[in-house]
């Protein structure tokens, strides 16, 4: 099953986070040379006839009362990367559709085989995460077919989830307009001449007749109109590095520096946990007062995920450096990332001399001091989603 997440008016939503009147039409202009063109607009500007790609002068004539904003491509791309990272919290098979970006952000998530209740739960979870973590509102469509999932999302209200059961794809999309297909101008014009307005009408025609009008592309259009899209999710490649850097006031005291190190290590561990990864190599860079930054790398034979293990490794590298200057910033870079896999912990380093009752958690903590320990709390044992079957709670066994 594939979830399509549509964030309408993506670029405009990023500008609305600043104080201002959201009822005023907003139009985002990208300048290339001396000519500007529209790359995004608000809903109120759309009602005035503004379209993507038209010139600045044309947009101003259509909507003279609009507020015109110069595109901030760097900010849009940063938020796009944050959006992708948020999707990776749910699955590592994520594709971002960039045909109408940055006006609208569209993401496809391969959710695998799940029950309907779990799919609805996961769709709502994605929408809530977008709203709470990024301040964005989205609609979510879920279907076995990629194009059907998009049509469901595009025709669903904000903060809503629409699930199309397997086998009902063609019936669901039949009343929707053919404009939802990926048509070029020639194809759209020809469909209007032929009087074909809905996907159901197009699907009811024979494949041969559609190909006679549109050539080889007609076969693909006929297949999409019948809800038979077999296109898979083409996953984006996850970044090969995870980096955290913090700058702060001058630190001379070792104990305060260690507190900072473990705090940054915890942030890096959270990033690794979000992508279900562990690190094999760690690089620590210390920015010092009146001097060049000092770096040290460490290759770990066993992959590491916990903040305690990362912090301890950084402290070992710090001892090697023998810093004499005050520290003004720290940067940690995790590389050689691998999937975080569970492993069996050894309870005893040697055979016990006699039988005795033990606190197993304390014994494991004493043997494996660099690891974090979690308690498993059952919630819904019959659910296919692991996050619904049980919850984790951190426990202190020190």
What's the CATH number where 53 sits? 3.30.70.270
Whether residues 333 and 259 share a domain: the answer is yes
Whether residues 6 and 142 share a domain: the answer is yes
Q: Could you read off the pLDDT tens digit of each residue along the chain, which spans 398 residues?
A: 999 999 999 999 998 854 444 578 999 999 887 789 999 999 999 999 999 999 999 999 999 999 999 999 989 988 998 898 889 888 888 999 988 999 999 999 999 888 899 999 999 999 999 999 889 999 999 999 999 999 999 998 899 999 999 999 999 999 999 998 888 889 999 999 999 999 999 999 999 999 999 998 999 999 999 998 888 999 887 777 888 988 888 888 888 889 999 999 999 998 888 777 888 889 999 998 888 888 999 888 788 888 898 999 999 998 888 777 888 999 999 988 877 766 665 555 555 555 554 566 677 777 666 667 777 888 887 777 777 788 777 777 66
Domain count, the chain: 4
Backbone dihedral angles phi then psi of residue 36, each to the nearest 5 degrees? -110, 145
Of 292, 241, 276, 284, whose CA–CA distance to 260 is shortest? 284
- Give the domain range for residue 92: 2-163
Whether residues 48 and 116 share a domain: the answer is yes
* Residue 25, both tokens: 């039409």
Question: Taken in order 95, 99, 105, 108, is the CA torsion positive or negative?
Answer: negative
Q: Is residue 237 part of a domain?
A: no
Whether residues 322 and 369 share a domain: the answer is no
Q: Is residue 130 part of a domain?
A: yes
Distance of CA 63 to the CA centre of its chain: 34
CB count within 10 Å of CB 350 equals 5
Write down which residue in 129, 163, 197 finishes a domain. Answer: 163
Which CATH number covers residue 201?
Answer: 1.10.150.20
The predicted structure's pLDDT at residue 127: 93
Write down which residue in 322, 339, 356 finishes a domain. Answer: 339
Write down which residue in 146, 163, 180 finishes a domain. Answer: 163
Q: Is residue 230 part of a domain?
A: no
Whether residues 359 and 313 share a domain: the answer is no
The predicted structure's pLDDT at residue 275: 77
d(CA 147, CA 145): 6
Whether residues 83 and 58 share a domain: the answer is yes
**pTM of the predicted protein model:** 0.67
Whether residues 211 and 355 share a domain: the answer is no
Q: Is residue 299 part of a domain?
A: yes
Q: E-assigned strands of the chain?
A: 2-7, 26-32, 35-41, 67-70, 94-97, 105-110, 139-143, 161-163, 242-251, 277-288, 294-304, 327-335, 338-339, 373-378, 390-395
Q: Is residue 54 part of a domain?
A: yes
Whether residues 254 and 268 share a domain: the answer is yes
Q: Is residue 31 part of a domain?
A: yes
Whether residues 151 and 175 share a domain: the answer is no
The predicted structure's pLDDT at residue 374: 76
Q: Is residue 194 part of a domain?
A: yes
Of 363, 365, 368, whose CA–CA distance to 396 is shortest? 365
Which CATH number covers residue 311?
Answer: 3.30.1490.100
Q: Is residue 235 part of a domain?
A: no
d(CA 135, CA 117): 26
Whether residues 57 and 157 share a domain: the answer is yes
Whether residues 16 and 69 share a domain: the answer is yes
Whether residues 267 and 332 share a domain: the answer is yes
Strand, coil or helix: 292: coil
Of 147, 132, 15, whose CA–CA distance to 75 is shortest? 15
């Amino acid at each position: 099953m594939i979830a399509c997440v549509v964030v309408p008016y993506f670029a405009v939503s990023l500008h609305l986070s600043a104080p201002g009147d959201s009822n005023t039409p907003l139009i985002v202009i990208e300048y290339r040379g001396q000519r500007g063109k529209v790359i995004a607009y608000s809903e109120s500007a759309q009602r005035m006839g503004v379209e993507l790609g038209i010139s600045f002068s044309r947009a101003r004539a259509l909507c003279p009362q609009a507020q015109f904003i110069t595109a901030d491509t760097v900010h849009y791309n940063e938020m796009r990367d944050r959006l992708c990272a948020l999707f990776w919290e749910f699955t590592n098979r994520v594709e971002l559709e960039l045909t109408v970006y940055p006006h609208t952000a569209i993401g496809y998530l391969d959710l695998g085989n799940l029950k309907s209740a779990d799919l609805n739960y996961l769709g709502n979870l994605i929408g809530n995460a977008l709203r709470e973590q990024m301040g964005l509102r989205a609609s979510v469509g879920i279907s076995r077919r990629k194009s059907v999932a998009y049509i469901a999302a595009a025709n669903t209200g904000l903060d809503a989830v629409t699930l199309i059961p397997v086998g009902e794809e063609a019936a669901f999309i039949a009343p929707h307009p053919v404009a939802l297909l990926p048509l070029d101008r020639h194809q759209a014009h020809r469909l209007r001449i032929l009087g074909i307005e809905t996907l159901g009408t197009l699907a009811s025609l024979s494949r041969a007749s559609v190909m006679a009008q549109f050539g080889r592309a007609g076969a693909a259009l006929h297949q999409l109109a019948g809800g038979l899209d077999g296109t898979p999710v083409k996953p984006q490649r996850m970044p090969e590095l995870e980096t955290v850097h913090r700058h702060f006031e001058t630190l001379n005291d070792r104990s305060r520096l260690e507190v900072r190190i473990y705090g940054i290590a915890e942030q890096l561990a959270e990033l690794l946990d979000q992508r279900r990864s562990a690190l094999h190599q760690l690089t620590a860079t210390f920015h010092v007062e009146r001097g060049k930054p000092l770096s040290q790398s460490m290759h770990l034979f066993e992959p590491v995920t916990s903040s305690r293990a990362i912090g301890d490794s950084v402290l070992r590298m710090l001892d090697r450096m023998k810093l004499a200057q005050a520290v003004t910033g720290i940067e940690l870079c995790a590389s050689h990332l691998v999937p975080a896999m569970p492993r069996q912990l050894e309870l005893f380093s040697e055979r016990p001399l006699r039988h005795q009752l033990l606190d197993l958690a304390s014994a494991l903590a004493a043997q494996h001091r660099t690891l974090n320990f979690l308690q498993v709390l059952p919630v819904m044992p019959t659910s296919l989603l692991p996050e619904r079957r049980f919850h984790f709670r951190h426990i202190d066994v020190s």
